[in-house]
């Protein structure tokens, strides 16, 4: 699976987690949206919101998710649920896909 395809799949999974309001764009996405209208043809996570890579192209997955949570949900519970959902998908995707994966979840705001 390519990093782009995995990122799109994980974006759908993360958005469905109770307490997740949305994936947070990085600074470039925020600046771009201030000067340009949103392009509805763009799909997948906003740039900077979900980073998916492999060291040297073949090592374990390295995933960083930046999310905004909903008020009324405990941030630590949403973070744990997000991390668990990502790891569960990697393990279900293949016997070794989740082995050694590094998953980092950062909450950037609460709405």
CATH class name, domain 3-110: alpha beta
Task: Quote the mean pLDDT of the chain.
Answer: 82
Q: Helices 3-15 and 75-93 meet at what angle, rounded to 10? A: 140
Once rounded to an integer, what is the mean pLDDT over residues 11-23? 95
Domain ranges for the chain: 3-110
Once rounded to an integer, what is the mean pLDDT over residues 52-71? 90
Q: How confident is the model at residue 99 (pLDDT cuts 50, 70, 90)?
A: confident
pLDDT tens track for 35-59: 455 444 345 566 668 999 987 777 8
**Residue 62: strand, helix, or coil:** strand
The set of residues, in sequence order, having a beta carbon less than 8 Å from that of 87 and lying 6+ positions away, is 98, 101, 103
* pTM of the predicted model as reported, rounded to 2 decimal places: 0.80
Distance CA 46, CA 88 (A): 22
Model pLDDT, residue 10: 94
């Amino acid at each position: 699976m390519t990093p782009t395809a995995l990122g799109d799949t994980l974006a759908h999974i993360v958005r469905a987690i109770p307490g997740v309001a949305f994936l947070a764009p990085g600074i470039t996405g925020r600046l771009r949206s201030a000067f340009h209208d949103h392009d509805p043809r763009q799909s997948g996570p906003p740039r900077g919101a979900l980073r998916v890579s492999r060291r040297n192209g073949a090592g374990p997955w390295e995933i960083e998710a930046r999310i905004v949570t909903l008020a009324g949900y405990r941030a630590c519970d949403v973070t744990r649920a997000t991390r668990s959902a990502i790891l569960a998908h990697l393990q279900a995707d293949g016997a070794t896909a989740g082995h050694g994966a590094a998953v980092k979840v950062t909450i950037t705001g609460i709405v």
